[in-house]
Protein backbone atom coordinates (compact mmCIF):
# COMPACT_ATOMS: atom_id res chain seq x y z
CA UNK A 1 0.00 0.00 0.00
CA UNK A 2 1.40 3.35 -0.97
CA UNK A 3 1.39 6.11 1.61
CA UNK A 4 -0.48 8.30 -0.82
CA UNK A 5 -3.60 6.26 -0.25
CA UNK A 6 -3.33 6.82 3.49
CA UNK A 7 -2.70 10.52 3.20
CA UNK A 8 -5.73 10.93 0.98
CA UNK A 9 -7.92 10.03 3.94
CA UNK A 10 -6.36 12.42 6.41
CA UNK A 11 -7.74 15.79 5.15
CA UNK A 12 -11.41 14.92 5.89
CA UNK A 13 -10.47 14.14 9.48
CA UNK A 14 -8.39 17.27 9.72
CA UNK A 15 -11.13 19.22 8.01
CA UNK A 16 -13.02 19.26 11.28
CA UNK A 17 -10.44 21.70 12.56
CA UNK A 18 -11.84 24.39 10.24
CA UNK A 19 -14.09 25.51 13.09
CA UNK A 20 -10.93 26.11 15.11
CA UNK A 21 -9.60 28.51 12.52
CA UNK A 22 -12.93 30.35 12.40
CA UNK A 23 -13.06 30.56 16.18
CA UNK A 24 -9.64 32.11 16.52
CA UNK A 25 -9.99 34.36 13.51
CA UNK A 26 -10.08 37.51 15.69
CA UNK A 27 -6.85 36.42 17.33
CA UNK A 28 -4.85 35.17 14.35
CA UNK A 29 -6.55 36.37 11.19
CA UNK A 30 -3.33 37.15 9.31
CA UNK A 31 -1.92 33.59 9.23
CA UNK A 32 -5.30 32.24 8.06
CA UNK A 33 -5.42 34.79 5.29
CA UNK A 34 -1.86 33.93 4.31
CA UNK A 35 -2.71 30.24 4.13
CA UNK A 36 -5.78 31.02 2.06
CA UNK A 37 -3.66 33.08 -0.36
CA UNK A 38 -1.09 30.27 -0.55
CA UNK A 39 -3.82 27.73 -1.24
CA UNK A 40 -5.27 29.92 -3.95
CA UNK A 41 -1.84 30.32 -5.56
CA UNK A 42 -1.25 26.55 -5.41
CA UNK A 43 -4.66 25.89 -6.98
CA UNK A 44 -3.83 28.40 -9.74
CA UNK A 45 -0.47 26.70 -10.41
CA UNK A 46 -2.14 23.28 -10.61
CA UNK A 47 -4.82 24.58 -12.92
CA UNK A 48 -2.12 26.15 -15.11
CA UNK A 49 -0.19 22.86 -15.25
CA UNK A 50 -3.32 20.90 -16.15
CA UNK A 51 -4.09 23.44 -18.80
CA UNK A 52 -0.60 22.90 -20.24
CA UNK A 53 -1.46 19.27 -21.02
CA UNK A 54 -0.47 17.35 -17.87
CA UNK A 55 -1.91 13.86 -17.75
CA UNK A 56 -4.26 13.20 -14.84
CA UNK A 57 -4.32 9.70 -13.37
CA UNK A 58 -7.69 8.68 -11.88
CA UNK A 59 -7.86 6.38 -8.87
CA UNK A 60 -8.26 2.71 -9.76
CA UNK A 61 -10.65 2.14 -6.87
CA UNK A 62 -11.87 3.31 -3.52
CA UNK A 63 -9.18 4.62 -1.17
CA UNK A 64 -9.83 4.42 2.54
CA UNK A 65 -9.23 2.57 5.77
CA UNK A 66 -11.88 -0.02 4.96
CA UNK A 67 -9.91 -1.08 1.86
CA UNK A 68 -6.63 -1.43 3.78
CA UNK A 69 -6.94 -5.22 4.44
CA UNK A 70 -7.63 -5.89 0.75
CA UNK A 71 -4.64 -3.77 -0.20
CA UNK A 72 -2.39 -5.71 2.20
CA UNK A 73 -3.68 -9.05 0.90
CA UNK A 74 -3.09 -8.00 -2.70
CA UNK A 75 0.36 -6.74 -1.78
CA UNK A 76 1.23 -10.00 0.00
CA UNK A 77 -0.03 -12.09 -2.91
CA UNK A 78 1.91 -10.00 -5.44
CA UNK A 79 5.10 -10.20 -3.36
CA UNK A 80 4.63 -13.90 -2.63
CA UNK A 81 5.26 -15.88 0.51
CA UNK A 82 8.44 -17.26 1.99
CA UNK A 83 8.76 -20.74 3.49
CA UNK A 84 12.00 -22.33 4.71
CA UNK A 85 12.33 -26.05 5.46
CA UNK A 86 15.28 -27.74 7.15
CA UNK A 87 15.64 -31.45 6.29
CA UNK A 88 17.80 -33.31 8.81
CA UNK A 89 18.59 -36.97 8.39
CA UNK A 90 21.17 -39.49 7.35
CA UNK A 91 22.18 -39.87 3.74
CA UNK A 92 19.92 -42.14 1.71
CA UNK A 93 16.70 -41.68 3.67
CA UNK A 94 14.93 -40.04 0.74
CA UNK A 95 14.89 -36.40 1.82
CA UNK A 96 15.08 -34.99 -1.73
CA UNK A 97 12.52 -37.49 -3.02
CA UNK A 98 10.07 -36.53 -0.28
CA UNK A 99 10.47 -32.82 -1.09
CA UNK A 100 9.77 -33.55 -4.76
CA UNK A 101 6.68 -35.52 -3.74
CA UNK A 102 5.47 -32.95 -1.21
CA UNK A 103 5.60 -30.01 -3.63
CA UNK A 104 4.76 -32.07 -6.73
CA UNK A 105 7.79 -30.91 -8.68
CA UNK A 106 11.32 -31.94 -9.54
CA UNK A 107 13.95 -29.94 -7.70
CA UNK A 108 17.35 -29.86 -9.26
CA UNK A 109 20.14 -31.21 -7.10
CA UNK A 110 23.02 -33.64 -6.98
CA UNK A 111 22.87 -36.76 -4.79
CA UNK A 112 25.10 -36.61 -1.74
CA UNK A 113 27.87 -39.11 -1.16
CA UNK A 114 29.02 -40.81 2.05
CA UNK A 115 32.56 -39.38 1.77
CA UNK A 116 31.95 -35.98 3.45
CA UNK A 117 34.55 -35.20 6.16
CA UNK A 118 31.91 -33.35 8.17
CA UNK A 119 28.32 -32.16 8.12
CA UNK A 120 27.63 -29.46 5.56
CA UNK A 121 24.40 -27.53 5.07
CA UNK A 122 23.28 -26.98 1.51
CA UNK A 123 20.62 -24.33 0.91
CA UNK A 124 18.63 -24.06 -2.32
CA UNK A 125 15.90 -21.53 -3.05
CA UNK A 126 13.13 -22.13 -5.58
CA UNK A 127 10.32 -19.93 -6.88
CA UNK A 128 7.06 -21.87 -7.08
CA UNK A 129 3.64 -20.70 -8.22
CA UNK A 130 0.21 -22.21 -7.63
CA UNK A 131 -2.70 -20.34 -9.23
CA UNK A 132 -1.88 -16.68 -8.54
CA UNK A 133 0.11 -17.31 -5.33
CA UNK A 134 3.89 -17.31 -5.53
CA UNK A 135 6.04 -19.12 -2.99
CA UNK A 136 9.74 -18.62 -2.39
CA UNK A 137 10.73 -22.03 -1.02
CA UNK A 138 14.10 -22.63 0.59
CA UNK A 139 15.16 -26.21 1.29
CA UNK A 140 18.17 -26.71 3.53
CA UNK A 141 19.68 -30.19 3.52
CA UNK A 142 22.26 -31.66 5.89
CA UNK A 143 24.87 -33.22 3.59
CA UNK A 144 26.95 -35.94 5.26
CA UNK A 145 24.86 -36.11 8.43
CA UNK A 146 25.55 -39.39 10.23
CA UNK A 147 28.29 -40.53 7.83
CA UNK A 148 31.23 -39.89 10.17
CA UNK A 149 32.72 -42.41 12.56
CA UNK A 150 32.71 -39.85 15.37
CA UNK A 151 29.22 -38.31 15.34
CA UNK A 152 29.62 -36.37 18.59
CA UNK A 153 29.62 -32.92 16.99
CA UNK A 154 27.32 -33.62 14.04
CA UNK A 155 24.62 -31.30 15.41
CA UNK A 156 26.89 -28.25 15.80
CA UNK A 157 26.90 -27.09 12.13
CA UNK A 158 23.09 -27.29 12.13
CA UNK A 159 22.75 -25.21 15.31
CA UNK A 160 25.29 -22.69 14.03
CA UNK A 161 23.40 -22.37 10.73
CA UNK A 162 20.07 -21.72 12.48
CA UNK A 163 21.67 -19.15 14.81
CA UNK A 164 23.35 -17.47 11.83
CA UNK A 165 19.98 -16.95 10.13
CA UNK A 166 18.56 -15.37 13.29
CA UNK A 167 21.65 -13.16 13.56
CA UNK A 168 21.42 -12.04 9.93
CA UNK A 169 17.78 -11.04 10.34
CA UNK A 170 18.57 -9.20 13.57
CA UNK A 171 21.35 -7.24 11.87
CA UNK A 172 18.94 -6.27 9.11
CA UNK A 173 16.41 -5.06 11.68
CA UNK A 174 19.05 -2.99 13.50
CA UNK A 175 20.04 -1.05 10.38
CA UNK A 176 19.13 2.62 10.22
CA UNK A 177 17.68 2.17 6.75
CA UNK A 178 15.94 -1.19 6.76
CA UNK A 179 14.69 -2.85 3.59
CA UNK A 180 12.83 -5.78 5.13
CA UNK A 181 10.25 -5.76 2.31
CA UNK A 182 12.96 -6.90 -0.13
CA UNK A 183 15.10 -8.83 2.35
CA UNK A 184 15.03 -12.61 1.96
CA UNK A 185 14.13 -13.94 5.39
CA UNK A 186 16.15 -17.16 5.69
CA UNK A 187 15.03 -18.10 9.21
CA UNK A 188 13.93 -21.73 9.42
CA UNK A 189 10.17 -22.24 9.81
CA UNK A 190 10.08 -26.00 10.29
CA UNK A 191 12.55 -28.88 10.62
CA UNK A 192 11.62 -32.25 9.12
CA UNK A 193 13.70 -34.80 11.02
CA UNK A 194 14.04 -38.06 9.08
CA UNK A 195 14.28 -41.21 11.19
CA UNK A 196 15.69 -44.42 9.75
CA UNK A 197 13.06 -47.24 9.59
CA UNK A 198 14.94 -49.62 11.87
CA UNK A 199 11.83 -50.71 13.71
CA UNK A 200 13.66 -50.79 17.05
CA UNK A 201 14.45 -47.41 18.65
CA UNK A 202 15.95 -43.99 18.04
CA UNK A 203 19.69 -43.62 17.62
CA UNK A 204 21.68 -41.58 20.12
CA UNK A 205 22.53 -39.18 17.28
CA UNK A 206 18.83 -38.53 16.68
CA UNK A 207 18.08 -37.86 20.36
CA UNK A 208 21.06 -35.54 20.85
CA UNK A 209 20.38 -33.58 17.66
CA UNK A 210 16.65 -33.12 18.29
CA UNK A 211 17.37 -32.09 21.89
CA UNK A 212 19.72 -29.36 20.63
CA UNK A 213 17.25 -28.13 18.00
CA UNK A 214 13.89 -28.24 19.80
CA UNK A 215 14.38 -24.81 21.41
CA UNK A 216 15.29 -23.14 18.10
CA UNK A 217 12.91 -24.57 15.51
CA UNK A 218 9.68 -26.56 15.16
CA UNK A 219 10.61 -30.24 14.79
CA UNK A 220 8.33 -32.68 12.97
CA UNK A 221 9.71 -36.26 13.23
CA UNK A 222 9.27 -38.42 10.13
CA UNK A 223 9.83 -42.14 9.70
CA UNK A 224 11.37 -42.26 6.23
CA UNK A 225 10.79 -45.11 3.79
CA UNK A 226 7.99 -46.43 5.96
CA UNK A 227 7.26 -49.19 3.42
CA UNK A 228 10.44 -50.95 4.59
CA UNK A 229 8.72 -52.33 7.71
CA UNK A 230 5.38 -54.02 8.28
CA UNK A 231 2.27 -52.29 9.63
CA UNK A 232 2.52 -53.99 13.04
CA UNK A 233 6.21 -53.12 13.35
CA UNK A 234 5.45 -49.57 12.29
CA UNK A 235 2.84 -49.16 15.03
CA UNK A 236 5.24 -50.44 17.68
CA UNK A 237 8.03 -48.28 16.28
CA UNK A 238 5.88 -45.14 16.58
CA UNK A 239 5.03 -45.94 20.20
CA UNK A 240 8.71 -46.58 20.96
CA UNK A 241 9.80 -43.28 19.35
CA UNK A 242 7.16 -41.28 21.24
CA UNK A 243 8.18 -42.87 24.52
CA UNK A 244 11.87 -42.12 23.97
CA UNK A 245 11.17 -38.52 22.99
CA UNK A 246 9.12 -37.97 26.15
CA UNK A 247 11.62 -39.69 28.45
CA UNK A 248 14.51 -37.64 27.04
CA UNK A 249 12.60 -34.34 27.24
CA UNK A 250 12.61 -33.67 23.48
CA UNK A 251 9.92 -31.14 22.50
CA UNK A 252 8.46 -31.78 19.06
CA UNK A 253 5.87 -29.69 17.24
CA UNK A 254 2.32 -30.17 18.53
CA UNK A 255 -0.70 -28.99 16.62
CA UNK A 256 -2.54 -26.36 18.70
CA UNK A 257 -5.72 -27.60 20.36
CA UNK A 258 -6.78 -24.36 22.03
CA UNK A 259 -9.32 -23.49 19.35
CA UNK A 260 -12.40 -25.67 19.69
CA UNK A 261 -13.09 -25.55 15.95
CA UNK A 262 -9.84 -27.37 15.11
CA UNK A 263 -9.14 -29.12 18.42
CA UNK A 264 -10.48 -32.49 17.26
CA UNK A 265 -8.63 -32.46 13.93
CA UNK A 266 -5.36 -31.28 15.49
CA UNK A 267 -5.68 -33.87 18.25
CA UNK A 268 -5.94 -36.57 15.59
CA UNK A 269 -2.88 -35.16 13.83
CA UNK A 270 -0.90 -35.19 17.08
CA UNK A 271 -1.85 -38.86 17.54
CA UNK A 272 -0.22 -39.72 14.18
CA UNK A 273 3.17 -38.27 15.16
CA UNK A 274 5.76 -39.28 14.10
CA UNK A 275 4.53 -39.44 10.52
CA UNK A 276 5.41 -42.54 8.53
CA UNK A 277 5.89 -41.36 4.95
CA UNK A 278 6.79 -42.72 1.55
CA UNK A 279 8.16 -40.62 -1.29
CA UNK A 280 8.08 -41.34 -4.99
CA UNK A 281 8.85 -39.46 -8.19
CA UNK A 282 7.12 -42.02 -10.37
CA UNK A 283 3.48 -41.90 -11.39
CA UNK A 284 1.53 -45.09 -12.01
CA UNK A 285 -1.96 -45.53 -13.41
CA UNK A 286 -4.20 -46.88 -10.67
CA UNK A 287 -7.74 -47.29 -11.86
CA UNK A 288 -8.46 -44.28 -14.06
CA UNK A 289 -6.05 -41.90 -12.31
CA UNK A 290 -2.32 -41.27 -12.43
CA UNK A 291 -0.96 -41.35 -8.89
CA UNK A 292 2.44 -41.23 -7.26
CA UNK A 293 3.31 -44.71 -6.10
CA UNK A 294 6.09 -47.28 -5.71
CA UNK A 295 5.87 -50.51 -7.66
CA UNK A 296 7.08 -53.70 -5.97
CA UNK A 297 6.93 -57.32 -7.07
CA UNK A 298 4.38 -57.99 -4.35
CA UNK A 299 2.21 -54.96 -5.01
CA UNK A 300 1.92 -51.18 -5.30
CA UNK A 301 2.35 -48.65 -2.48
CA UNK A 302 0.36 -45.46 -3.05
CA UNK A 303 1.88 -42.30 -1.63
CA UNK A 304 -1.43 -40.50 -1.07
CA UNK A 305 -3.29 -43.50 0.31
CA UNK A 306 -3.73 -43.02 4.07
CA UNK A 307 -3.95 -46.77 4.52
CA UNK A 308 -0.41 -47.08 3.18
CA UNK A 309 1.41 -44.16 4.81
CA UNK A 310 0.97 -40.79 6.55
CA UNK A 311 2.04 -38.64 3.61
CA UNK A 312 -1.41 -36.99 3.44
CA UNK A 313 -1.12 -36.09 7.13
CA UNK A 314 2.27 -34.51 6.48
CA UNK A 315 0.82 -32.56 3.58
CA UNK A 316 -2.00 -31.41 5.84
CA UNK A 317 0.67 -30.27 8.28
CA UNK A 318 2.19 -28.13 5.58
CA UNK A 319 -1.23 -26.76 4.70
CA UNK A 320 -1.91 -26.10 8.40
CA UNK A 321 1.34 -24.16 8.72
CA UNK A 322 0.48 -22.15 5.62
CA UNK A 323 -3.03 -21.46 6.93
CA UNK A 324 -1.55 -20.50 10.29
CA UNK A 325 0.74 -18.06 8.49
CA UNK A 326 -2.19 -16.63 6.53
CA UNK A 327 -4.18 -16.36 9.76
CA UNK A 328 -1.36 -14.43 11.38
CA UNK A 329 -1.24 -12.19 8.32
CA UNK A 330 -4.95 -11.47 8.57
CA UNK A 331 -4.56 -10.84 12.29
CA UNK A 332 -1.79 -8.36 11.62
CA UNK A 333 -3.95 -6.70 8.95
CA UNK A 334 -6.79 -6.31 11.45
CA UNK A 335 -4.41 -5.01 14.11
CA UNK A 336 -2.97 -2.53 11.62
CA UNK A 337 -6.42 -1.35 10.62
CA UNK A 338 -7.45 -0.96 14.24
CA UNK A 339 -4.21 0.88 14.92
CA UNK A 340 -4.89 3.33 12.08
CA UNK A 341 -8.47 3.85 13.22
CA UNK A 342 -7.24 4.41 16.77
CA UNK A 343 -4.70 6.94 15.52
CA UNK A 344 -7.41 8.81 13.64
CA UNK A 345 -9.56 8.87 16.76
CA UNK A 346 -6.63 10.08 18.83
CA UNK A 347 -5.92 12.78 16.24
CA UNK A 348 -9.56 13.86 16.30
CA UNK A 349 -9.45 13.97 20.10
CA UNK A 350 -6.27 16.06 19.95
CA UNK A 351 -7.88 18.46 17.46
CA UNK A 352 -10.99 18.78 19.60
CA UNK A 353 -8.83 19.40 22.66
CA UNK A 354 -6.83 22.00 20.72
CA UNK A 355 -10.07 23.61 19.56
CA UNK A 356 -11.31 23.72 23.14
CA UNK A 357 -8.04 25.24 24.35
CA UNK A 358 -8.16 27.86 21.60
CA UNK A 359 -11.74 28.76 22.50
CA UNK A 360 -10.75 29.06 26.15
CA UNK A 361 -7.72 31.14 25.24
CA UNK A 362 -9.88 33.38 23.06
CA UNK A 363 -12.39 33.80 25.89
CA UNK A 364 -9.58 34.62 28.34
CA UNK A 365 -8.10 37.15 25.94
CA UNK A 366 -11.54 38.65 25.30
CA UNK A 367 -12.25 38.95 29.01
CA UNK A 368 -8.78 40.38 29.62
CA UNK A 369 -9.39 42.89 26.85
CA UNK A 370 -12.73 43.89 28.38
CA UNK A 371 -11.14 44.26 31.84
CA UNK A 372 -8.34 46.38 30.43
CA UNK A 373 -10.85 48.47 28.51
CA UNK A 374 -12.92 49.03 31.65
CA UNK A 375 -9.82 49.99 33.61
CA UNK A 376 -8.84 52.47 30.91
CA UNK A 377 -12.35 53.95 30.87
CA UNK A 378 -12.31 54.30 34.66
CA UNK A 379 -8.89 55.89 34.53
CA UNK A 380 -9.99 58.22 31.75
CA UNK A 381 -13.03 59.27 33.77
CA UNK A 382 -10.86 59.90 36.81
CA UNK A 383 -8.48 61.99 34.72
CA UNK A 384 -11.38 63.94 33.24
CA UNK A 385 -12.70 64.68 36.75
CA UNK A 386 -9.24 65.84 37.85
CA UNK A 387 -8.95 68.03 34.75
CA UNK A 388 -12.38 69.59 35.44
CA UNK A 389 -11.52 70.18 39.08
CA UNK A 390 -8.20 71.76 38.05
CA UNK A 391 -9.96 74.03 35.58
CA UNK A 392 -12.41 75.09 38.24
CA UNK A 393 -9.60 75.87 40.69
CA UNK A 394 -7.73 77.72 37.97
CA UNK A 395 -10.80 79.81 37.12
CA UNK A 396 -11.33 80.63 40.82
CA UNK A 397 -7.69 81.59 41.25
CA UNK A 398 -7.77 83.85 38.21
CA UNK A 399 -10.95 85.46 39.51
CA UNK A 400 -9.38 86.09 42.91
CA UNK A 401 -6.27 87.43 41.27
CA UNK A 402 -8.23 89.86 39.11
CA UNK A 403 -10.25 91.01 42.11
CA UNK A 404 -7.05 91.51 44.09
CA UNK A 405 -5.57 93.55 41.25
CA UNK A 406 -8.63 95.79 41.09
CA UNK A 407 -8.58 96.33 44.87
CA UNK A 408 -4.88 97.24 44.79
CA UNK A 409 -5.43 99.76 41.99
CA UNK A 410 -8.21 101.60 43.86
CA UNK A 411 -6.07 101.89 47.01
CA UNK A 412 -3.23 103.42 44.99
CA UNK A 413 -5.52 106.03 43.47
CA UNK A 414 -6.81 106.86 46.94
CA UNK A 415 -3.30 107.44 48.29
CA UNK A 416 -2.45 109.62 45.33
CA UNK A 417 -5.46 111.82 45.95
CA UNK A 418 -4.59 112.15 49.62
CA UNK A 419 -1.06 113.24 48.77
CA UNK A 420 -2.34 115.94 46.42
CA UNK A 421 -4.66 117.36 49.03
Residue 63 in domain: no
Residue 222 in domain: yes
List pLDDT tens digits, range 201-219: 899 999 999 999 999 999 9
How high is the mean pLDDT of the chain? Answer: 80
pTM here is 0.61
Q: Please, which residues have CB within 8 angstroms of residue 105's CB and are 6 or more apart in sequence?
A: 126, 128
Residue 152 in domain: yes
Residue 231 in domain: yes
Comparing 7 with 289, which gets the higher pLDDT?
A: 289
Q: Is the pLDDT of residue 38 over 90?
A: no
List pLDDT tens digits, range 253-307: 998 888 888 888 888 888 889 999 998 888 888 878 888 888 887 788 888 888 8
Residue 234 in domain: yes
Residue 157 in domain: yes
When divided into structural domains, the chain yields a total of 1
Mean pLDDT for 70-93 is 82
Are the CB atoms for 339 and 306 separated by under 8 Å?
no
Comparing 53 with 412, which gets the higher pLDDT?
A: 412
Among 2-11, 125-134, 355-364, which range has the highest average pLDDT?
355-364
State which residues form the domain around 82.
Answer: 72-277
Phi, psi of 275 (to 5 degrees): -75, 135
Composition of the chain by helix, strand, coil, percent to 5: 55, 15, 30
Are the CB atoms for 80 and 133 separated by under 8 Å?
yes
Q: Is the pLDDT of residue 31 over 50?
A: no
Count Cβ atoms within 10 A of the Cβ of residue 337 and give its class: 0-12 exposed, 13-18 middle, 19 or more buried: middle
Residue 173 in domain: yes
Comparing 47 with 205, which gets the higher pLDDT?
A: 205
Closest CA to 242 of 205, 276, 218: 276
Are the CB atoms for 216 and 163 separated by under 8 Å?
yes
Mean pLDDT for 374-402 is 88
157-164 own/partner pairs: CB under 8 Å, 24+ apart: 157/118, 157/119, 157/120, 157/121, 158/86, 158/88, 158/119, 158/121, 158/209, 158/212, 158/213, 159/212, 159/213, 159/216, 161/121, 162/86, 162/188, 162/213, 162/216, 162/217, 163/216
Residue 94 in domain: yes
What pLDDT does 52 receive?
A: 55
Are the CB atoms for 89 and 112 separated by under 8 Å?
no
- 324: confidence class by pLDDT, cuts 50, 70, 90: confident
Q: Residue 206: which CATH number?
A: 3.40.50.300
Closest CA to 217 of 89, 342, 87, 111: 87
Amino acid sequence: MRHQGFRAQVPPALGRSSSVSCAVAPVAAAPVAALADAGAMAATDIARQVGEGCRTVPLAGHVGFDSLPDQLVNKSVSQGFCFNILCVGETGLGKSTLMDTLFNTKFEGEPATHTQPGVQLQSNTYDLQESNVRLKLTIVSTVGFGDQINKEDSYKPIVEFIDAQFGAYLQEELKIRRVLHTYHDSRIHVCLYFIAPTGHSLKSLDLVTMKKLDSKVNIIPIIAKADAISKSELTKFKIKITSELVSNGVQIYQFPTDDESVAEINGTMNAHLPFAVIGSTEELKIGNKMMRARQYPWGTVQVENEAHCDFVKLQETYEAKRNEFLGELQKKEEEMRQMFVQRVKEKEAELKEAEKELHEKFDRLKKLHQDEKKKLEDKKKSLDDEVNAFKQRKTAAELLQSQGSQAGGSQTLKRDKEKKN
